[in-house]
Amino acid sequence: MKLSESIKIKIQKLLTLAKDATDEESQTAMLHARKLMLKHNIQESELISSHVNDKTVVNERVYRNRLIWWHRKLAHIIGRHFRCSYYRNTIDSYQAEIRFVGLAEDVQIAVMIYNFARASIHYHSRAFLLRSEIKRKWKRKHQFKNDYIEGYLAGLNQKFLEQNKSESLELIVVQDPLVIQYYNSLSLTSLNIPSAKKAGDDVAWRNGYNDGKKFESGREMIE
Model confidence pLDDT, tens digit, residues 101-111: 999 988 988 99
Q: Does the pTM of the predicted model rise above 0.85?
A: no
Q: How far apart are CA 145 and CA 134, in angstroms?
A: 10
For the ranges 40-49, 57-66, 81-90, 125-134, which has the lowest average pLDDT?
40-49
Cα torsion through 171, 172, 178, 181, rounded to 10: -40
State whether residue 102 is helix, strand or coil.
Answer: strand
